Amino acid sequence: MSKSINILGSTGSIGTSTLKIIQNSESAFSVNLLLAGGNLEKLKKQVQEFNPRFVSIHDPAKATELRHFIRETAPETEFVPFEEALKLDCDIAVSAIVGTAGLLPTIHAIRHAKRVALANKESLVAGGDLIRQECAETGTEIIPVDSEHNAIHQCLRAGEPKEIESLILTASGGPFFGLTHEQLESVTINEALNHPTWSMGSKVTIDSATLMNKGLEVIEAHFLFRVPYSRIHVKIHPQSVVHSMVEFRDGSILAQIGIADMQLPIQYALYYPGRPENQIFRFPLEGSFSLDFHDPDRVTFRCLDLAYRCGEAGAAERIVLNGANEVAVQAFLKGRISFAGIPAFIEHMLNIIDVPHPTTVAEVVELDRRVKKQAELEVERGHF
């Protein structure tokens, strides 16, 4: 029997890669739900190609057209309103909506799927405690899709949790590795979007350039693997060959190596604990290659330390960090703030906003909304 898959965020980079894995799976998996944010044209093509049982779109303005399209061209697929779509049962839900918009869908996925393949790191940053609690109550397993955490998940199969000494997250360093603060002042949007080793969506690409991506991943690792922040380290590794490492208490360090293609961690998350045979994702071992590791420049790339600080501080600070960053990245992409202004803006938001500690998902969502609203006002004021 094939396993049913709900793809939350099917038209994005991870969603598209997931569909490729399903396509090559020889019916090991079937598409139960395709859910998109607003990219109706791409969603239509996916419906025609993959014949999902259900389809949904978040943008209400596009729901009518989607419904019409289904009736005319794909009568075997059923249109479901967004809120209901989140509650459809399945074997595996792939949570691939970008930003904190993915938090509620992730929570529903934990309640309605047997396994969540988690690509949305912001949901763990904003609501890590609540996600952990939901998993404990439902027994749902999370398999990380984020390449670093996926690598750690693989390495951890070699030891017990109590044998972990530290987690070492690798970072490519992004396009600006080695630049000074002065040089960062004048970088352009296109330069920031030009990632040296990974092809990803624009939010995560900018986050990679600022090192905020690694900061969010430190918090993500803390919640996924229950390791204290003081034992989660970051190494710049420009080749993106080692996707992360685990140091065990006996002194052994295990690393996971593979090509830099998100299909590999997605495949792992879908097939776990099995490993399918394929020839597509072979790492080129012929010839010589080298592996370099450097300490990150935490003074120039301040986002990393901001993330450590907020991770230690608590849920409210994590929500401000994440919300302010999402707004800052969008503002940078629109040319409203400079690249170097991103960490300064986040720090400013951490200083001016006073937030209570949230204890429910609804409170997290509300707090996130409040932070972003205020952050947008600050961008309007144009101080950065």
Q: How many residues bind Mg ion (CB under 5 A)?
A: 3
Query: Toward Mg ion, which CB reaches closer, 66 or 125?
Result: 125
Of the pair 122, 378, the CB lying nearest Mg ion is at 122
Name the minimum Å distance from CB 265 to Mg ion: 9
Q: In whole angstroms, how close is the CB of 121 to Mg ion at the nearest point?
A: 7
- Residue 262 contacts by C-beta under 8 Å, 6 or more apart in sequence? 13, 14, 17, 145, 147, 198, 200
Q: Of 16 and 338, which CB lies nearer to Mg ion in the complex structure?
A: 16
- Report in angstroms how near the CB of residue 80 gets to Mg ion at its nearest: 31
CB of 204 to Mg ion, least distance (A): 7
In the complex, what is the shortest distance from the CB of residue 90 to Mg ion, in angstroms, rounded to a whole number? 25
For Mg ion, the closer of residues 56 and 244 by Cβ is: 244
* Binding track, positions 162-201, relative to Mg ion; x by CB under 5 A: ----------------------------------------
For the chain, the three-class secondary structure string (H helix, E strand, C coil) is CCEEEEEECCCCHHHHHHHHHHHCCCCCEEEEEEEECCCHHHHHHHHHHHCCCEEEECCHHHHHHHHHHHHHHCCCCEECCHHHHCCCCEEEEEECCCCHHHHHHHHHHHHHEEEEEECCHHHHHHHHHHHHHHHHHHCCEEEECCHHHHHHHHHHHHCCHHHEEEEEEEECCCCCCCCCHHHHCCCCHHHHHCCCCCCCCHHHHHHHHHCHHHHHHHHHHHHHHCCCHHHEEEEECCCCCEEEEEEECCCCEEEEECCCCCHHHHHHHHHCCCCCCCCCCCCCCCCCCCCCCECCCCCCCCHHHHHHHHHHHCHHHHHHHHHHHHHHHHHHHCCCCCCCHHHHHHHHHHHHCCCCCCCCHHHHHHHHHHHHHHHHHHHHHCCC
**Window 299 to 328, contacts with Mg ion (CB under 5 A):** none
- Least Å from the CB of residue 291 to Mg ion: 18
Q: Which is nearer to Mg ion, 52 or 311 (CB)?
A: 311
Span 108-167, contacts to Mg ion by CB under 5 A: 146-148
Between 122 and 146, whose beta carbon lies closer to Mg ion? Answer: 146
What is the per-residue binding string for Mg ion in 340-369, x denoting contact by CB under 5 A? ------------------------------
Nearer to Mg ion, 243 or 318 (CB): 243
Residue nearest to Mg ion (CB): 146
CB of 148 to Mg ion, least distance (A): 5
Q: How far is the CB of 211 from Mg ion (least distance, A)?
A: 12
Choice between 146 and 247, CB closer to Mg ion = 146
Binding site for Mg ion (CB under 5 A): 146-148
